[in-house]
Amino acid sequence: MKVAIFGQYYQNATSPIMERLLHFLEINKVDFTIEANFLKMLQDNKVITIDLPTFSSHSDLNKSYDMLLSVGGDGTFLRAATYVRNSGIPILGINAGRLGFLANVQQENIEKILKLVIKKEYKISKRTLLSLNCSPKIDAIKDLNFAMNEITVSRKDTASMITIETYINDEYLTSFWADGLIISTPTGSTGYSLSCGGPILTPDANSLVITPIAPHNLNARPIVIPDKSTLKLKVTGREENYLISLDSRIASASNGSELIIKKTPFKINMVEITEATFLKTLRNKLLFGEDRRN
């Protein structure tokens, strides 16, 4: 078995996780490489004191890899997806952060879960991604124009709202007068969209969510649409630029630009263990349906 390891360094959390992880991989004779910047962080913090094989871009990860292990939080998992892209390499998230909806393997379960991985006793949850094309083009996102959680447009350098003229399959929906607009995948429905009043979708739902951010037109509410839809957005406002974010990656677009958002032709393969399914995580992490009266 051959795995790649990508992560972020968290004080007092990453060190014990990596010690347990590397020990397990070594005694089970699993080949592994570590993302170069992550290895440097580990070496700087004396977690690792030797040189190890590294990778530094998505082009370094070929079909010989069985899995990518993401060590960190959900944001780390989203960044890990930019290394996997359309390769089909499954991602397993080991949680060193807080909520851990995507990175749902807890530190105390590392050995137990990895034993199941070696035995191939796991399922693959295929996660939809969104692509973004802009006119005029934006150089900052041309190489990484996809998002696993959401694509968001929002105001920049102003307290004034922006207007987002929205079309679904070239049919006019409405013009949102708001702080911004979130286009979310089922994976992202438990993130930013949820905090703005959007619904929760199960990962296998063939749908997307359009969620306005603090809309001034109060009768504008989140709407669920088929994921085969093509969205067109035209954003205008008092300032010359507004912000576009693809998960954690941010770019600036000029007023009046046209954005085309649709599902990517590929999906991310997320490793799902029986002990940490989506519904179990929903109950345990978001306390879904909990009632103190019971």
pLDDT in tens, 2-26: 999 999 888 778 888 999 999 999 9
Q: In the structure encoding, which two tokens stand for residue 109, read together?
A: 């379960």
Report, in angstroms and rounded to the nearest whole number, the Rg of the chain calculated over CA atoms.
Answer: 20
Hey, CA dihedral for 106, 111, 117, 120, is it positive or negative?
A: negative
What is the CA 3 to chain-centroid distance, rounded?
20
90 cis-preceded (ω within 30 degrees of 0):
no
Is 74 assigned a catalytic role?
A: yes
Mean pLDDT score of the chain: 92
Q: Which amino acid is at 3?
A: V
Tell me which H or E stretch contains 177. Answer: strand 171-178
Q: Which fold has domain 2-127+267-286?
A: Rossmann fold (3.40.50)
Measure CA of the first residue to CA of the last residue in the chain; give whole Å.
46
Tell me the per-residue pLDDT of 265-289, one tens digit each, with 9 for 90 and over.
999 999 998 877 889 888 888 888 8
Beta bridge partners of 232: 167, 260
Q: Which amino acid is at 229?
A: S
Pairwise CA distance, residues 14 & 95, whole Å: 9
pTM for the model stands at 0.91
Q: In the chain, where are the structural domains located?
A: 2-127+267-286, 130-263
Q: Provide CATH code, domain 130-263.
A: 2.60.200.30
Pairwise CA distance, residues 163 & 179, whole Å: 8
Banded pLDDT at 243 (limits 50, 70, 90): very high
Tell me the per-residue pLDDT of 191-219, one tens digit each, with 9 for 90 and over.
999 999 999 999 999 999 999 999 998 89
Banded pLDDT at 40 (limits 50, 70, 90): very high
Pairwise CA distance, residues 75 & 102, whole Å: 9
Identified catalytic residue from 51, 74, 143, 170: 74
Q: Which amino acid is at 260?
A: I
Residues 180/255, Cβ–Cβ less than 8 Å: no
Beta bridge partners of 94: 71, 105
